[in-house]
Amino acid sequence: MGTLVMPERKLWGTLHGGYRANVQTPPQTLPADIAEQADVDARSIARVLTGDREAFAVLVTKYSDPLYRHALNMTGSPDVAEDIMQASFIKAFSHLGEVRGRFDAWIFRIVANGCKDWLKNIRRTHVSYEEDDQPSHLTTPDEELNRSELRVDLDWALGQLSPSLREAFVMKHVEGRSYEEMAEMLDSTVGALKMRVHRAREALQALLEEKYA
């Protein structure tokens, strides 16, 4: 039976958590709620490895939303996002005994790599960002129209960024992760990711400011 070992470098964000403001100093130990989630996941994984497939359904349900959001915003296509999700979870299922650390970070890296591979390999395709995928909290038709226009233009502008810049922007602005959490997830440094986000912002602003600013 495979054993789960907590990572030496602590991940202190959570995939299904909300926005985490910029935290200046990382905690020295894994926060209790995250450690508890890691334990719960480890128990689920142990059950899957003994043949309980339903335990895997628990993991799929638990982490599908943030992973789907990441894939959707990286690819811009619900269909592609679903395909990447499915391929990633199948890969995770097939290599579940190799998890050494937090499952959520591990599965995130699988999905993120799937998105980047897709972006690198794709040549030209038409994809849709369906209206139904976007909830609306706006009330007036004018606001809705303006937002819809910005949504389309932002999707277009994101599509012009390189995969690494788009990934950094999506993680920071759409998923609301801190730079420290991004660094842990992507195995990079805070400085490098800050630079990537800044470059992404500049590129987006260059693309959009003539029309909007």
Partner 1 sequence: MMMDMTPNPEGARGDRDVTPPSATKPLGDRPLADREVPLRADGAMAALNAWLDGEAPAPRLANNQLTPEAELWSRISREASARKEVRTPAHVAAQIMHALPPATATRLVAAPAVHTSAETFARAVPGQATTSGITMQPATLAVLAVVFLTLGAVVGRFL
Ranges within 71-130 binding partner 1 (CB under 8 A): 72-73, 75-78, 82, 85-86, 89-90, 93-98, 119, 122-130
**Min dist. Cβ of residue 146 to partner 1 (A):** 8
Question: Half-sphere exposure (CA, 13 Å, Cβ side) for 127?
Answer: 22
| Contact call for residues 116 and 163 (beta carbons, < 8 A) | yes
List the one residue from 10, 47, 109, 147 that touches partner 1 (CB under 8 A). Answer: 147
What is the identity of the amino acid at 157? A
Part of the chain binding partner 1 (CB under 8 A), chosen from 16-24, 30-38, 103-111, 180-188: 16-24
Part of the chain binding partner 1 (CB under 8 A), chosen from 8-16, 25-33, 103-111, 143-151: 143-151
Is 201 among the residues that bind partner 1 (CB under 8 A)? yes
List the one residue from 8, 29, 141, 211 that touches partner 1 (CB under 8 A). Answer: 211
Quick one: CA dihedral 47, 52, 56, 59, positive or negative?
negative
Q: How many residues bind partner 1 (CB under 8 A)?
A: 96
Is 65 among the residues that bind partner 1 (CB under 8 A)? yes
Q: Per-residue contact track with partner 1, 170 to 199, x per CB under 8 A?
A: ---xxxx--x--------------xxxxxx
Q: Which is nearer to partner 1, 38 or 157 (CB)?
A: 157
List the one residue from 162, 188, 191, 192 that touches partner 1 (CB under 8 A). Answer: 162
Rounded CA separation 81/74 (Å): 8
Part of the chain binding partner 1 (CB under 8 A), chosen from 5-13, 28-36, 52-60, 103-111: 52-60
Question: b/e string for 35-65 if b means 16 or more Cβ within 10 A?
Answer: eebbeebbebbbbbeeeeeebbebbeebbee
Record the tokens describing residue 162, joined without a space. Answer: 């390189």
Rounded CA separation 71/81 (Å): 5
> Residue 73 contacts by C-beta under 8 Å, 6 or more apart in sequence?
158, 170, 174
